[in-house]
Structure 1
Amino acid sequence: MQQPTTLIAHHARYRPEHPAVVFADGRQTRRLTWRLFHRRVNRLANALLALGIKQGDRVATVLPNSLELLEIYWAVPRIGAVLVPLSPLLNAAGLGSLLADAGAAALFIHPAAVAEVDGLGQALPALARERIVVVGEGDPSSAAPQDSGTFPGDHPAYAALTAAACEDEPAVPHPAGDDIFAIMYSSGTTGQPKGILQSHACRAAYCTLLASTWRMTPESVVLHSGGIVFNGALLTMFPAFYLGATYVLAGAFDAALAIDLIAQEKVTHTVVVPSQIVAILDHPDFAAEKLASIETFLSVGAPLLQERKQALNRLLPNRFYELYGLTEGFITVLDRSQSLRKPLSVGTPPQFYELRIVGEDGRDLPPGAVGEVVGKGPILMSGYYNRPELTAQTLKDGWLHTGDLGYRDEEGYLHLVDRKKDMIDSGGVKVYPKDIEEVAARHPAVREVAVFGIPHDKWGETPHAAIVLRQPAAASPTELRDWVNERVAAKYQRLHSVEIVPDFPRNAAGKTLKRTLRDPWWAGRERQI
């Protein structure tokens, strides 16, 4: 079976001058053909080999979107090393936890995060200082010609690493299908993080099966304006690279920049989270004719309110897709042909995927009956890194048990009725309440805490905490919110608000009924959960 690591060399050989990558951050635009992108990836891959990185070593990144990050995504797996993308929003404690868990042998890091890594000291014994490479803004006035393989703006440390490296294909075999391509961390960083193992075969399935799902072709122009550190970005990246389409990457999401890039580059495919959809539709520069080239407008992550769906379908008819999925490897897709007829569903599993709704006894349930969503397909994870017990609980006889509750209608379309482990989707970023609850519980005034998502016009959902105090008036909501927000591991885990309640509603077993706390916040609002 061919692996994703063969794709760039294929396009460099057979369509070398076709536009491969466009990186735009609002200040400058950097363009590479497949021939030039192939040379830069080869240089980095050979430079990694010269550093002593070998097959199976974990190479982590703590970077915002950049051309360099995109090259790292392809160079690391090319030599059989394992990619570990980490969010640049992590603070020192969260970053150290994940780097230690992964056993990172090398790290590419943005200048703003260097001090945090240096402060970790002996907590990362496997990470030698010479294998920490700073990647960031270099001197945009440097005059290196594009054909040299370097660019104005390459960070000096990154340029120094790759400058003397060979441009030829690395002298190591391509990895096998069951070798690990990446570890994607889907959870927060308190407690035990979950590293999701994705194989080369899994990523190859992303390429082939999703290319047809999105109706993508070699002539497509694919924009990603959110962070590529999150797995949702790879839903369109891999099919684009498989087909040899043009991949347009924005430095960071900005509604005006996204609108301009779609119009200027004639973008045909893009994946966005609901908060980005809202920002685009509400921006003064928005005009449907500027987005006329779009063929696939894919929404993932947090729920998109029906009002926004209707507006999008009215302004850009026959373009809207919606995906429900887990990084662990199961998805359903609401195709653009069904988005008006089945707006409250999250679609059906694509070809070669299977979906079941099972009861507590593990038996399949009939249409309309609510049970756990269970599925399998070609993008299934290999397991959780160093978590065999959790893997066994989640993968049973080849079926992924999602922890989500839903039902199938008479036509087989999936409808969700509860969220995976009460996860919050805030602007497309997965936020796990337990991570925040662990922090809040350390406050001396807190007896019990329950964190859940409440509606937010921009982010879709945002974290909110209900707290029972040990003594009445022992702390104020503002004091508790600020105390927690100073201690959470990442910015996206910060509480939006806190309410103090006398006690929690509970079931017969004494378990807190979090949904009873949460539902009043959503009452009267049409949503898809």
Structure 2
Amino acid sequence: MSYQPKTHYDAVDKIWSSEKEKSQFGEDLSIGEIIFQEMVRHPKSVAQVSDSEKTILLREDLLNNAIRIATYMRNLDLTQRDIVGIIARNTTHISAVAYACFFNGIALHSLNPSYLPEIIEKLFQNTKPRIVFCDGDEYEKVRAATAKLDVKIVTMRNHPKDAISIQEVLKTPAEEGFKPISLKSTHQLAIISSSGTTGTPKAIIVPNCRTILSTFTNLTTLDVQYSASTLDWISCLWTIVSSGVYSTKRIISELPFDPAETLRIIEENQVSWVLQSPGQVAAIINCPDFENASLQSIRYYNFGGGRCSMEVQNRLRQKLGRDFVNFAYGLSETGSLCCVNVHFDAKPNSVGRPSPGYKLKIIDDQGDKLGPNKEGEVCINKGSFWPGYYGNPEATKEIYKDNWLHSGDLGYVDNDGFLYVVERKKDLLKYQSNYYYPHELEELISRMPGVAEVCAFGIWGVENGDEAAATVVRKPNDLISEKDVEDYVAQNAGTEFLRLHAGCLIVDDLRRSPNGKTNRAANKEYFLQAKGIQIIT
């Protein structure tokens, strides 16, 4: 991900843009067609290694499995108007299911296995999948949630007696002369879930658009990719697509993220490409095994989806011994990484310049465009059409206007065209007459010896407004107290008002969304419950 396009600033229109990258593949080919042809080209290279199941698939094995699953779908008369549901962990055959969907031009709709039955029912009532691939662990939950739908359920592991197993599907004879379907770039490739921190997750359409490959073009057949996220999250979709397109080796595990296991996986498999959330990076560097772990194989250590403290970034860079740590910025709605910062020393905490073909603008509350170093809402134009949220045109219109995605993030662009994302717009807080951001406290507290992770938020009160509070995870074997944290903030904050007026809570771990991102709303709710605080409006 070291490619950095030239950035141009139009001082009249106040828009930053980057040059479009020359395509390595025919413009008329769909993502499925590219993956198909590349798997045919490299049949004997290793496509996938399952660390947890101890399975190895060559590209010809994965291709043949995907063709059989795609044929099974065609035998069910599934067409491009249909949807395939997925609620599964990273097991051996989940990539083949995804590729089968790409080959058939059928959008997959992936949900997290931890979702409650009522959430699954609501989301699938929207997309109405004809077939759902799920783990046997969730079979009864999925069957109950889809009872009102005409749906076939296939299990990927731990198969119940009355379920169709993936092994049965893989016995389907491949269609003679099988060819993938051609698609327009506006056709839906996948439907993934938003973080769902403010209610039921939205169904985000990712189109069959070449921009999904943006910033991945430096990958080669020698690269080994690893990401712990499941297919309901954009990072897993990126990994599955880029692995198929660029013929890399992909390492998977059905087990949830564990820092010690991740370090072992990286070392044993000589992983060169990693994509993690900031919480996962923090867990890695605070793991007892971190100091002795070998990370010399890594060429790209990417993190995104939130802020990562400078202490964590510096410790990781010091360990790697070279500048392979990249702060990435992307939205599930864009379907690709909007920016990647490969200039840490010159621009720490920037998310980088616009990715190839992207445009950026910063607007104020009135919608007027702002120039360099002026803070406002970050808006993104990726140069292609976004279909929106599936079955939710109202929500689509709220953030997608005249081909510009309104991110809801506050930020600014400096004189060199580097974007800095400051905070979510809705997270801006006000104590008495003073405005502040949660990340200011998080950055301060993260520098305190003994702190592993922190999540800050405001507790609203009639008299003062948003009184700051924080949940804090201690480093292993450290005994800092809540008062220690409060005193540290009071002694080290740069302003008189920036204090933990609502207090601190020591926790074993932060509350997170199913994709591993820190869930500020959930941490705030837990804090209120633990402290017995009731919000009076």
Q: Which has the higher helix share?
A: 1
Residue 161 in structure 1 maps to residue 165 in structure 2: no
CA distance in 1, matches of 2:426, 2:233: 19
- 1:55 is matched with which residue? 80
1:22 and 2:26 equivalent?
no
How many Å apart are 1:297 and its aligned residue?
Answer: 0.2
Change (3 A) 1:192 1:246: closer
Aligned mates of 1:3, 1:210 — CA distance in 2: 18
Question: Does the CA contact (< 8 Å) of 1:297 and 1:321 recur in 2?
Answer: yes
Q: CA deviation at 1:99?
A: 0.9
Q: Name the SS of the counterpart of 2:216 in structure 1.
A: helix
Q: Which amino acid aligns with 1:180?
A: Q
Q: 1:452 and 1:97 mapped to 2: Cα distance?
A: 35
Kindly indicate whether residue 158 of structure 2 is the aligned counterpart of residue 133 of structure 1.
no
| Unaligned runs of at least 5 residues, structure 2 | 1-27, 429-437, 440-454, 458-464, 476-510
Equivalent residue, structure 2, for 1:522: none
**Which residue pairs with 1:103 in the alignment?**
128
In structure 1, distance between residues paired with 2:82 and 2:473: 42
Q: Which amino acid aligns with 1:299?
A: F
Is 2:365 the counterpart of 1:335? Answer: no
Q: CA deviation at 1:221?
A: 1.2
Deviation at 1:315, TM superposition (A): 1.1
Separation of aligned partners in 2, 1:289 and 1:110: 33
What's the secondary structure of 1:368's corresponding residue?
coil
Larger deviation, residues 161-170 vs 320-329 = 161-170
What do residues 70-123 of structure 1 show as CA deviations (whole Å, max 9, x unaligned)? 21111112112111010111011111111111122211112222222333365x
1:278 maps to 2:282: yes
Instruction: State the Cα deviation string for residues 363-402 of structure 1 (Å, max 9, x = none).
Output: 2212221111111115763212122232223222111111
Mapped partners of 2:514, 2:31: distance in 1: 33
Evaluate the alpha carbon distance shift between residue 164 and residue 301 of structure 1 in structure 2; reply closer, same or farther with a 3 A threshold.
same
Q: 1:243: Cα distance to partner?
A: 1.2
Letter in 2 for 1:136: R
Cα distance between partner residues in 2 of 1:291 and 1:191 = 38
* Alignment equivalent of 2:142, drawn from 73, 93, 117: 117
Task: Show the counterpart of 1:64.
Answer: 89
TM-score w.r.t. the length of structure 1 is: 0.74
2:234 is equivalent to residue 231 of structure 1? yes
**Between 155-164 and 104-113, the greater mean CA deviation after superposition:** 155-164
* 1:329-382 CA distance string (max 9 Å, x none): 17443433x112222222221121111111233222122211111111157632
Counterparts in 2 of 1:287 and 1:490: CA distance versus 1, 3 Å: closer
1:99 is paired with a residue whose SS is helix
Q: Residue 248 of structure 1 aligns to which amino acid in structure 2?
A: I
- Native 8 Å contact 1:98 1:189 kept in 2: no
What count of residue pairs does the alignment treat as equivalent? Answer: 432
Q: Distance in 1 between matches of 2:420 and 2:115?
A: 33
Aligned to 1:244: 247
CA distance change for structure 1 residues 378 and 88 in 2, over 3 Å: closer, same or farther? Answer: farther
- Cα separation, 2, equivalents of 1:120 and 1:327: 25
Q: Any conservation in 2 of the 1:288–1:315 contact (CA below 8 Å)?
A: no
> Of the candidates 196, 218, 221, which is equivalent to residue 218 of structure 1?
221
Could you say what the CA RMSD is over the residues aligned between the two structures, in angstroms?
3.5
Distance in 1 (CA, whole Å) between partners of 2:176 and 2:44 is: 18
Query: Is the contact between residue 210 and residue 236 of structure 1 (CA under 8 Å) also seen in structure 2?
Result: no
User: What percentage of aligned pairs have identical amino acids?
Assistant: 24
3-state DSSP of counterpart to 2:412: strand
Query: Which secondary structure state, in structure 2, belongs to the residue aligned with residue 384 of structure 1?
Result: coil
SS in 1 for 2:306: coil
Aligned partners of 1:45 and 1:170 also within 8 Å: no
Residue identity opposite 2:414 in structure 1: D
CA distance in structure 2 between the aligned counterparts of 1:60 and 1:502, rounded to whole angstroms:
39
State which of 196, 201, 211 in structure 2 corresponds to 1:205: 211
Specify the alignment match of 1:350 in structure 2: 355
Find the aligned partners of 1:369 and 1:410 in 2 and give their Cα distance.
11
**CA-CA distance at 1:191 after TM superposition:** 5.9
Rate the CA distance shift 1:120–1:293 in 2: closer, same or farther, 3 A: closer
Equivalent runs, 1:300-319 vs 2, <5 Å: 300-316=304-320, 317-319=322-324
Name the counterpart of 2:329.
324
